[in-house]
Amino acid sequence: MNNSFWDLLNYGNWMHLPVLSSEHGRDVDLFILYVHWLMAVLFVGWVAYFLYVLWRFRKSKHPKADYQGVKSSASSWIEGAVVVVEAVLLLGFAIPLWAKQVDNQKFPDEKDATVVRVIAQQFAWNGRYPGQDGKFGRQDVRLISGENPFGVDPKDPAGKDDVAAAMNDIWVPVDKPVIIHLSSMDVIHSLSIHPLRICQDAIPGMSIPLHFTPTKPGRFMITCAQLCGNSHYAMRGNFTVATRAEFDKWMAGKAPATASFE
């Protein structure tokens, strides 16, 4: 599709969508656009039908009610067509789009991606990166304590060079695939970053992978899309998409993580 179409789709004020900042986001926006078109057609069609019925069966033309009613199958055919269109949207767009994002066979190679472990907690976001060896240190729920809330094994040499981001401050480089391994240390949260068109539940005891490729540098807000407690409204963080040079400089300024996150 030409750029003018995508300019209209992504930046048109009539859609009120955040600036598109990820590769897969075009498919998400296109699906949203199709749903809006369907809703617009249904709205106009049913309003027109309602007005037609008011005029067609007005009292001046039908002073006495006909309890047999109109015998026609037109409305059934229309309703059937709506079902078919909704099925096409679901089976032809929504499910394939979801499958594309969760299919492990379609994930980028971790060697070519920025890999981050993101752990949610009431009410913040924590990020951890592998060090120069590209391997995360082992984590075990049995090691969780007040001093080690994330259960990092201090004896695992692979974790000695891991890097912990400051709370609510996660960085990735632009134009490079990102793989996030998402989890939660208490209740169900949901990582939502609107410009990147990602939203994924974080579930205690599970590590859920998601992937995307950011296409525009920027500082985006992380919000929680699940009601997770009395301070849910304040569970916000910063997700920075930086140039490669800026990201490397940021990483260089981080000291290796200890047994617990910062």
Q: Are residues 156 and 196 in the same domain?
A: yes
For residue 203, give its domain range. 110-252
| Count of the separate structural domains present in the chain | 2
User: Rounded to the nearest 5°, which phi and psi values hold at 179?
Assistant: -120, 120
Residue 133: CATH number of its domain: 2.60.40.420
Average pLDDT, the chain: 84
Band (pLDDT 50/70/90 cuts) for residue 11 is very low
**CB within 8 A of 152, min separation 6: which ones?**
137, 138, 139, 143, 159, 162, 257, 259, 260, 261
Q: Are residues 76 and 145 in the same domain?
A: no
User: Rounded to the nearest 5°, which phi and psi values hold at 139?
Assistant: -125, 145
pLDDT tens digits, one per residue of 54-109: 888 887 877 777 777 667 777 778 888 888 888 888 888 788 877 777 776 778 88
Q: Are residues 144 and 246 in the same domain?
A: yes
Q: What is the pTM of this model?
A: 0.78
Q: What percent of the chain has pLDDT over 70?
A: 89
**CB within 8 A of 153, min separation 6: which ones?**
137, 138, 139, 140, 143, 159, 259
Residue 228 has pLDDT above 50, yes or no: yes
Cβ atoms of 129 and 115 closer than 8 Å? yes
The answer as to whether 186 is a domain residue is yes
Q: Are residues 148 and 238 in the same domain?
A: yes
pLDDT tens digits, one per residue of 31-58: 888 888 888 888 998 899 899 888 888 8
Q: Are residues 52 and 84 in the same domain?
A: yes
H or E segment and range at residue 198: strand 198-202
- Residue 114's SS3 state is strand
Q: Are residues 69 and 131 in the same domain?
A: no
In angstroms, the CA 199 to CA 201 distance is: 7
pLDDT tens digits, one per residue of 147-156: 777 778 888 8
pLDDT tens digits, one per residue of 161-196: 888 888 899 999 999 999 999 999 889 999 999 999
Q: Are residues 189 and 129 in the same domain?
A: yes
